[in-house]
Amino acid sequence: MKIRTKMIIAFVSIALVPMLLATSVVISNLRKQAVENFYTASSGEMTQVENAIRIYFQAIEQNVEYIASHPLLMRADSSLTTYMATQRETAMASQTNRALEGDIWRYFEHFGETHQGHAYVYLGTTEGAYIQWPAGSVSAGYDPRTRPWYQTAMSTPGRPVRTAAYYWEPDDATIISTVMTTSNALGRAGGVVGLDVSLNELTELVREIRLGETGYLMLLEGDGNILVDAKKPQNNFKQLSELSDDYRQLANARVQEVSLDGTTYMVNTITSAALGWRMIGLIERSEVMKAANQMTVALIILVLIIAAGMAAVGRWVAMKFTQPMNEISSRLQEIAEGKGDLTQRLPVSGNDELGELAGWFNKFLESIRELVVRIQQVSERVSAASTSATGQAKEMSQISERQTEAVNMVSTAFHEMAATSSEVSKSCTSAAGAADTGFENAEAGQRSVDASVQEVEQLQSEVSQSVEVISLLSEDSQNIQVITSTISAIAEQTNLLALNAAIESARAGEQGRGFAVVADEVRALAQRTAESTEQIRKLLNTLTHRTETAKQSMEGSKAAMEATVESIEKVRVSFDQVRAAVNEIRDMNNQIATAAEEQHQVAEDINERIIAVNDDAADVSSIAVKVKAGSESLGALATELEKLVSSFRT
């Protein structure tokens, strides 16, 4: 970027930045002032409306107090008509009554006709009597004491109160009741008198008030019930909560902006301390900011005009300032294109900074000329020195090559020795590992032998127990044979006795027939017992023979077990000897492996040192080559420097 361009930018920036800052502050203040003006103007308008409404309802309260204290109402008693016993809608006829009730109705009529805007004047007593102007009809069983207006007044006796607004369809109007208790013949709070007023006039008043061109008012009760929406009358007598989310934002008294039907409105809300109502003023944000936006556009145009003017001034100043510099630049270009003519000089005109620049540059050229002369002299000496250094570097390179060859031979020999010692170390390590494996196998074999000894000894013990059991079994078999012989003898005796009994029964003749039958049965039983005993004897003989055979076999097995135990014991002793020998071999292998490893480490250390020497020799050789190359390059550079210096005119 040229100096002229930079100066133009600087001039424009110097003027533009402060103006932009000032413009931003002014625009911000204008917008704030527009908002403040909106709040001030709308608050004034709404305060006037609020005062008018407050005065209007204060007058109604005074009228209610006046009616409640009227002598006619204070005379009200139980003679007034009640409608609690009616079975259907009934027309009131208080105006035809010539007693106290008629007087009260005519007073209500006079008051209503002389005070415009009052929809109803009425009285309800503690006994349920009811008088109303204008006359109308009441529903079946009508009891004023159950009505909200009556209960509201009774909750605050002796003081006028307002009820919430409600829509009365027969009159197509929004009604607000102002009620108050009255003292009469029935007691200190013997009844409630009320005035109903229509809000039609109030609604029309609020509708007619405009805030600017697009602003309007909304009047809400404390519970959010909309009394008046000047822009959308269809919202009247609806709760904010029943409308869209945009309208529900108005429930927050602190909201300052709201978007309704796609249009952004500024919002100002005031709450009447006397009425408890909220009055909301809304005006389109574009209207509030209209003057500020117009001023913003004007300021931006002014800033752009000033910026253009400052750019023109900056361009003129920059041209005046850079013209001498352009002349100096042209002369420097001539010097640069004059093939190193150091004899030329810049013209020195004036005593300003540019004149000083030209003078100092001429001195600089003189210094450069002297420097070039000295460089030319030095380059000649450098060329001679580089020729000598090249020869010395060549000789040093040859010596380093011979040294490198010798070191390589020594390094190779030590490398082989290190490899041999490494192999020995590995073999010893392998032998030590094999010895460890043999030692472990010997220990495992010994553990197996010990386990076998224990198992054989246990088996021998079990065989001995089996021999003893078989011996006891043989003795039991012999005892059973003795018992069997006894049973056999008893059976023979029984058989003989049965035979004798049969003979005796035969002798007895017919009387001994039954006994003969029993004797035959006993003899048959004895014969079967003898046969069974004989079979048991044969089985016991066989069992005894087999038991004896098993006993002899067990005794043979016991002897064999004892011999096996002796053999295994000998094997265990042999394994102990093998394990000791393997352990000794393992220790010797470990010692050899350690010595071989130490030898290998020493050889490796020597080999590393020889390699380091070899590397140093290689480095020396490489340095010698580089020195030689550097000397040759230095000679070439010296030659080139002589050529370059000779191109300058000194």
Confidence of residue 152 (pLDDT cuts 50, 70, 90): very high
pLDDT of residue 413: 64
Q: What is the pLDDT of residue 151?
A: 92
Across the chain, what does the average pLDDT equal?
76
What percent of the chain clears pLDDT 70, i.e. is strictly above it? 76
Distance of CA 441 to the CA centre of its chain: 61
Rounded Cα–Cα distance for residues 84 and 123 (Å): 15
Q: Which pLDDT tens digit goes with each residue over 610-636? A: 777 677 767 767 776 776 777 677 677
Judge contact between 195 and 188, C-beta under 8 A: no
- 118-149 b/e (C-beta count within 10 Å ≥ 16 → b): bbbbbbbbbbbbbbbbeeeebeeebebbebeb
pLDDT at 363: 78
State the pLDDT at residue 133.
92
Q: What is the DSSP string of 311-352?
A: HHHHHHHHHHHHHHHHHHHHHHHHHHTTTSBTT------SSS
At 4, the pLDDT band (50, 70, 90 cuts) reads low
pLDDT in tens, 38-90: 778 777 777 887 788 888 888 889 999 999 999 998 888 888 999 999 999 99
- The residue type of 197 is V
Averaged pLDDT, 267-280:
79
Question: Residue 501: which pLDDT band, with cuts at 50, 70 and 90?
Answer: confident
pLDDT (average), residues 574-581:
70
Q: What φ, ψ does residue 166 adopt, rounded to 5°?
A: -145, 155
Mean pLDDT of 492-496: 78
Pairing of strands 278-284, 166-168: unpaired
Pick 281 or 84 by higher pLDDT. 84
Q: Which residues contact 341 (CB under 8 A, 6 or more apart)?
A: 335, 648, 649
Q: What is the pLDDT of residue 169?
A: 74
pLDDT band of 1, cuts 50, 70, 90: low
pLDDT digits (tens, 9 = 90+) for 317-375: 767 666 666 766 766 676 666 555 666 666 666 676 667 777 777 777 777 777 777 77
- Between 64-73, 261-270, 449-458, the lowest mean confidence (pLDDT) is in 449-458
pTM (predicted TM-score): 0.42
Please state, in angstroms and rounded to a whole number, the distance separating the CA atoms of residues 172 and 175: 9
Residue spans of the domains in the chain: they are: 367-644
**pLDDT value at position 488?**
73
